[in-house]
Structure 1
């Protein structure tokens, strides 16, 4: 998709950085990496800045950088089909899945807390054993 002056309303004309970011997002992660490598080759601070930006914006760790793909997915998930029975079923299913996701995330949080507590208790027990051994050794001497 080529960005032209007609693509955006007159009140919002993105600058060159926003246009470049959108263009790179459309091309994917490979384009970001290529831009970063070229930045290092031609002027290393540009490559370094791109690397930091990719890490900061989490583009480096996403499976896809494409904003348009996310927009299409959002639109397809939240659009109406015109069939009220199907739309109601879809809304109910999405609501149920969101509830299951939040319950699963809460479950994972409880598991992390339990693991942290077990590791901390193990640390305290090990420290107490070492302290009692060193006390026994000092009493024997």
Structure 2
């Protein structure tokens, strides 16, 4: 075995597991615990360290599918590329809308909190009236 093949097999395994997603990583971790518990612990630590365990992003978002294979029909390929581009733009616009909506809701809740707090501060307390 050469040094190149020894150093490349972990990256090949990682790429293979990444193609199959988080469930493949979890299965690998469980098998690691069953076969040799330090191996399972090492996989778990790697998943947490590389943010594969708690990542909110999906594989599609990290590596969007652009249909790299041609169908052989140039008109269809152009339509597909345009549709995928449009859908990605719509998704970005919708995510921006959701962000603005959350920010508006947070601002409304914060303004209400500050208003309640100011009202409480202006109201005379019972022990001050005596």
Unaligned regions of 5+ residues in structure 1, if any?
Answer: 6-11
Unaligned regions of 5+ residues in structure 2, if any?
Answer: none
User: Could you say which residue in structure 2 is the equivalent of 1:17?
Assistant: 10
User: Could you say which residue in structure 2 is the equivalent of 1:103?
Assistant: 93
Determine which of 121, 125, 128 is the counterpart of 2:111: 121
Which aligned segments of 4 or more residues in structure 1 are displaced greater than 2 angstroms? 16-27, 46-52, 55-62, 135-139
Which structure has more relative contact order (CA 8 Å, sep 6+)? It is 1
Contact 1:24–1:32 (CA<8 Å) still a contact in 2?
no
User: Could you say which residue in structure 2 is the equivalent of 1:8?
Assistant: none
Cα gap change, 1:14 to 1:101, in 2 (>3 Å): farther
User: Could you say which residue in structure 1 is the equivalent of 2:50?
Assistant: 57
Q: Does 1:31 align with 2:51?
A: no
Q: Distance in 2 between matches of 1:74 and 1:94?
A: 9
Aligned length: 120
TM-score normalized with structure 1 length:
0.62
Q: Distance in 2 between matches of 1:22 and 1:99?
A: 28
Q: Distance in 1 between matches of 2:16 and 2:76?
A: 36
TM-score normalized with structure 2 length:
0.67
Query: RMSD in angstroms over aligned alpha carbons?
Result: 3.6
